[in-house]
Structure 1
Amino acid sequence: MNASFLLLAAETPTTRIEWKNVHSNADLILPAIVFLAVAAFVVYMYRRDSSELNRFWAVTLTCLRVLTLLVLLLLWMYPAWRMEKHQTINSRVLVLIDTSMSMGLVDHDSGGSAGRMMRIQQVASALRQSDFVQRLRKTHDVVIGHFDEQLHADRVRTLAKAAPEDASQGPSGAAGSAALANEGATGEAAKSQAEQSVDWDRLLVLGGKGTGLGQSLRQFISDHSDWPLAGVVLISDGGHNMGQGPQAALELSRELNVPIFTVGVGSDKLPPNVRVADFNPPRRAFPNDPFEVKASLQAFGMAGQTVTVRLSWRPAEGEVSAAGTADPDPEPIEAVLGPDGQEVPVSFRLSTTSLGRRTLTLTVEAPSNDRDPRDNQAVRDIEIVDRKTRVLLFCDGPMREYQFLRNVLYRDKSVISDVYMQRAQTGISQEANEILDDFPRTPEEMFRYDCVVAFDPDWQKLDQQQIDLLYEWVRKHSGGLIVIPGPVNAGRPIAGWTQDEAMQKIRELYPVVFERRFSGSEEGMRGGSEPARIAFTPEGLEADFLWLTDSPISNREAWDAFPGVYSYFPVRGAKPIVGKVLARFGDEQSL
């Protein structure tokens, strides 16, 4: 039987009659008195009025009247058939295991064989060799989940409470089974036991870019809050560094009266280590136009030490460089490492006359006591091009966001910007290379552009040929499309393009799922009179195009000083795989 079934045991249903208006014998006293009084009155009246009838008819009519009263009494008691089914629901123990990259560290101060194992390997070995899970399964269902920057809810394993004959089995064993098969088990029995096995080495795989302990723990508890929870076992090195803190999870556990038991993994001392924390050179540069390559270093246990940072570049794989045109590497930089965890910025300035892709390699010459040399180098590619980026600004009217970006792009020497404004009058003047009278209709017109920025356009004004052309340009030819919603067109209820079946292809180009609207009174944009802070997701904090400064720490401080925005466009959620949420509106869960 699958361990995820809710009903673990069920008795045969029983059926009985229930009187809905009678909850106890006391409820029958008054109706019985009334019935007997009325019945006595009926018998008395019939005996007096039927004196001229023969005895048979007198008795028959009296019995019919009393029977009628008895039926009325039964109807008042409201008889109903009731089916009862007794079911047993097992309590659950949640086991949440940290599989973030920090669990891949090898603790230098651990002795014995464990000192040569990564933290995650120590956890897998302990669970495999001990009877911890098996002892839990004697009393509870066991739900096993793991997390890194987020909870992997799609890979949660549920082990059903062990049957009495299985509860006496020993540890999981070398095969990684949390429920050992009985000797000689065959057929369905062996298959059922195999379903309860857990390959710990396969389940506990390192991943993610951070440790979202608080959010993952809260989500894990919330996802199983409909079950009777006996407790939560959290196995982690405690390195929370992403998302909301554990406080929200603790509040939920107190509300549900669910205890949390923590199992610490690893040393309480960070090993000496320096690493390349961030290295994101521009993806594109131009010949004879100097550009800056920025990176940051992060160290633990090396405060005040000086390291040499080198940047080298060469033609990317598959690129052929002309003889004598190789670009020299910049001079190395001496960087002084800061306190534990503090990022130290470094930058190089490069320039070239050659075109094509280049591979940049940043290398830190670490001290001899560096614990992990694997993170001392980072490699990225950059493309040197000799053409300008062509952008089409597409809007229904001159909203503020359009005016700002129009001016910025028009002044950028690396960009050619065209404008198509749907409600523009003939002969208008705009800061643009070209003002279009219509949206592109042919592939030649569409393929001139690298990117289209759509500021709340009225998509319903495009004909099917233009919609199909845009759809193919984005989906099949990787054309860039940036969309900005607004209250005029995207916010139009019922009759707008977000609800129009003919605009299905346009909605498919958006990375979000729109809400269904059922009345014209629903608001398109939401917000308030006071600004709300922008809540960045981990992906948003790492998106360099949103950086206001040169380092991650100062960038976060700069955004924290920003008072916020006043409104947002509500959607149902991000599309799986293609939709990446970078920020949310204040404390809302809207994108």
Structure 2
Amino acid sequence: LLLLAGLLVAALGLWTLYRWEGKHLHLAKRGLLWGVRLTVLGLVVGMLLEPVLVLVKEEQVPSNLLVLVDSSQSMGLRDAWQDEVAATRTAEQLGIDEGQEGLRKLTRLDLVSRLLDPTMIEALEGDGERIVHVHRFADRMEEDAVSMFVDQSDVESAANPQAADESAPDAQPLTHNPQPLTPIGETTAIGSALKQALLAYAGMPLAGVLIVSDGQSTSGEPMDTVAKLAADENVPVVTAAIGTLEGPRNAMITSVESSPVAFVRDTNQVTVQVQSRGMQDLSCGLLLEMRRNGGPWQELGREDVILGLDGAQQTFEFDYSEARPSKLEFRATLEDLGPELSEDDNVGHAETRIVRQRLRVLFIAGSTFPEVQFL
């Protein structure tokens, strides 16, 4: 209303001036004055309307993608890869030349290094849309991110040592930290690591969290609580499982024990201790062989074995007797185990020297003493 009243007053004033100027001023001067007055009036009206100039500027800010890599002790294990088809497919995708055998030589962390290669990191970055941060974790998340752009010859040397030796003079590390992924802790606290990551990057745009691990959370924050926290912040969490369902699979002969010296015609024993992992309730054969004075190996005994719990020692005893003095060698071998991590530890050895029962001893003393009667 005030604006309308002001406009009416201004119009009335201009009309009065126009009538007065029409009688006293020339037409050209009247036109100039009218132009100035209209300009001033327009400026006044513009000020009263308070115009606002809005400038819009768009800026693209890349989001952050967090990659949490499990670095507990179990990630340093090697899997047996019993499924040959799955092993071959995995080896082809990761670029491992030796296929199933090459996979068995690599630890789970070696496979993570193969997975998170520069090509994969670039794909996760999405042409600059995301910034990828890789953090290790065990019982907690490490605050400092690690670089995944490492010299792949370090990983390849585990699968093909001969090729690594041939290419070593030309190999150049891509960073000053050629082996960033090593086992650093005893437990796996996925919930605690995820919560630390969300707090560390609070206030920053998060595209999501990728968790690379070989198993369940064994300590720290409950997963359901932390998952709810991530859901409340609209942060997607994706997992990548490393390893096989069967896990590490290996049986070994930990020791072959026999008395270093035994008498002829005595009944003696050879004790064989067996240990296994990931092969509970599986059956195999235990063969014990003996040879005399470097001669041919002869079967001394055979035992059917049902493998026990992971890490449990199983003891087997074999009796033998020898009629003549000689040097005996024993060889224990585990048979029919199927695919496993290594066959080098399926064999154990021991030695025994067989002597006569009656020994002749010359005892020399400077003088007699009462203890001689006990000899």
For this structure pair, what is the TM-score category when the shorter chain's length is used for normalisation? 0.3 to 0.5
For the pair shown, which has the larger CA radius of gyration, 1 or 2?
A: 2
Query: If the length of structure 1 is used for normalisation, what is the TM-score?
Result: 0.31
Query: If the length of structure 2 is used for normalisation, what is the TM-score?
Result: 0.46
Q: Which has the higher contact order (CA 8 A, sep 6+)?
A: 2
